[in-house]
Chain A
Amino acid sequence: MAELWSIYLLPGIIILAQILAIIVPLLLAVAMLTYFERKIMAAMQLRMGPNVVGPFGLLQAFADGAKLFFKETVLPTSANKIIFVIAPMLTFLLSLVAWAVIPFDEGMVISDINVGILYLFAISSLGVYGIVMAGWASNSKYPFLSALRSAAQMVSYEVSIGFVIITVLLCVGSLNVSDVVRAQADGVWFFIPLFPMFIIFFISALAETNRHPFDLPEAEAELVAGYQVEYSSMTFALFFLGEYANMILMSGLTAILFLGGWLPPFDIAPFTWIPGPIWFFLKISVLLFVFVWVRATLPRYRYDQLMRLGWKVFLPFSLFWVALTAGVLVAFDLVPQT
């Protein structure tokens, strides 16, 4: 009995507590992110933004959530019901499981696996299924067009994301996420030597999360709301939560790959007083602000322009940069030893 407790139950409870310790703040962060986005967009457009529910409108997101929760979940009669319901769950689930390998500080990570970066890449490449399944199962023309668009778009931008990750990994010499941050501790953060890759990664992250200016799968002006058309109540809310959790995840990934994760900008006294998770949070917040800023500023891309940018500009350039990075590392004998 004691063995059962010490080998199975106790570690199980600890892991469950760790998971809750990440998911609960994450969901709160998603709620706050919607508020943050609406407030920033309002400020940029000289409006007030949400200001009624709670002090400064802070509880607006929870009011929206409660409203969605009490609405009826409509299942279209001609929809493929099982897949129709699985799709939003899948989107939401995938946006949560990726956090298992994100380090918040030295050693503060649920699962410190050797292939962490590949795991993140694999999970983000699965994100397309939520949308494709939703679009197909709705059995309706706008969602279907949206599913086709998103399948092509997300696969295209994954390729350049892959090459960007390869350049970073060439400089790190390990696939472990914590090692990526540690490699930036001694030298400079990677966004300085790999600046063009940083920009490409961020733009690809916008495309990968279906955010403006690449939100073609849900372009409200042409596809009404794309794959979300037939969804209501909590099924819609899960898509919404998943999309915003993915935004936070991609910002976190950008922070880890290029902005030194939990590291302070300078390794001297006033900066080192602030704990690592707070630095990580600040970096994510700055990147999220850019996400919103882009949304408030840029018009939507046309679909052929999107494809051209992905395949004819980003792909050749990132391929060139992989070769260049590898060449420089070999020429100056900087290849990290494993």
Chain B
Amino acid sequence: MILQGLTFYLFAAIAVAAAAMVVSARNPVHSVLFLILTFFTTAGLFVLIGAEFLAMILVVVYVGAVAVLFMFVVMMLDINFVELREGFLQYMPVGVLVGIILLVELLMVLGTATMTPEVMAAGTEPIPDLAQRQNTAALGDVIYTKYIYLFQTAGMILLIAMIGAIVLTLRQRPGVRKQDITRQLARRREDAVELKKVQPGQGI
């Protein structure tokens, strides 16, 4: 247990420190890298509480895909770092406000959980014993039965968002020649090459 405790404090400390660095780093690319470190250590914390599926999904989805796209965009930004710092004081009240709201919400959830455990137990699915049911299967049991409509709705919302993004950025430029793969593949040698018998001294 000592080892688990030590690992927890190590990961938790790194996660919090990295999260602080995300906000305070001067260079946006460093911010993204610290964000990745935060995700990664959080995944480690998930593993420690036995939620290995969540941990892996966090790494696959957030670190492997979302943060790569962040990085892709941030790397291409041409930013003046001094200019960037000027807005800091202006945005700070909003940031602090959002932070306080999140903190209060978290405290409320945790407070209910510790003070009245019976209320928390009533509304949730019972968590099956890890020895009997792996948490991957346990998640599947409820997501695809009890919460299927919510799950599908979430998927639909993402699909609509994706279509929206495509519609907004798609523009048809007239007069641009694009590669037509089917036409290329349908092209035969007879259509393209013609052999001519050329008489000496005459040309074609």
Hey, which chain A residues are within 8 Å of B56, CB to CB? 115, 118-119, 121-122
Query: How many B residues, CB 8 Å from partner?
Result: 26
| Interface assignment of B59: CB less than 8 Å from any CB of chain A | yes
When C-beta atoms are compared, the residue in chain B nearest to A155 turns out to be B68
Residue from B60, B136, B137, B181 within 8 A of A125 (CB atoms): B60
Hey, which chain B residues are within 8 Å of A125, CB to CB? 59-60, 63-65
Interface segment among A39-47, A129-137, A249-257, A260-268: the answer is A129-137
Residues 19-76 of B contacting A (Cβ, < 8 Å): 29-30, 33, 36, 52-53, 55-57, 59-60, 63-65, 68-69, 71-72, 75-76
Cα distance A126–B43 when bound, in Å?
Answer: 13
Hey, which chain B residues are within 8 Å of A119, CB to CB? 56
When C-beta atoms are compared, the residue in chain A nearest to B74 turns out to be A136
Cα distance A232–B64 when bound, in Å?
Answer: 28
Cα distance A125–B69 when bound, in Å?
Answer: 13
Interface of A is mostly: helix
Q: A83-B33, A148-B76 are in contact. Are A115 and B63 (CB under 8 A)?
A: no
Interface of B is mostly: helix
Instruction: Sort chain A's interface into a size bin.
Output: 20 to 34
Cα distance A315–B11 when bound, in Å?
Answer: 36
Cα distance A155–B73 when bound, in Å?
Answer: 14
Q: Mark A89-131, 1 if CB is under 8 A from B, else 0.
A: 0000000000000000000000001110011011001101100
Residue from B36, B63, B137 within 8 A of A122 (CB atoms): B63
When C-beta atoms are compared, the residue in chain A nearest to B72 turns out to be A151
Residue from B64, B69, B179 within 8 A of A158 (CB atoms): B64
Give A317 Cβ to nearest chain B Cβ, in Å: 15
Residue from B30, B69, B136 within 8 A of A114 (CB atoms): B136
When C-beta atoms are compared, the residue in chain A nearest to B64 turns out to be A125
Q: Can you show 9 pairs from A to B with CB atoms below 8 A apart?
A: A83-B29, A83-B33, A115-B55, A121-B64, A122-B63, A125-B60, A155-B64, A158-B64, A338-B134
Binding site for B on A (CB under 8 A): 8, 83, 113-115, 118-119, 121-122, 125-126, 128-129, 132-133, 136, 144, 147-148, 151-152, 154-155, 158, 162, 175, 304, 308, 338
Not counting A114-B134, A114-B136, A122-B56, a sample of 12 additional A-B residue pairs whose C-beta atoms are within 8 angstroms of each other reads A83-B30, A115-B136, A121-B60, A122-B60, A122-B64, A126-B59, A128-B64, A129-B36, A129-B71, A132-B75, A136-B71, A154-B68
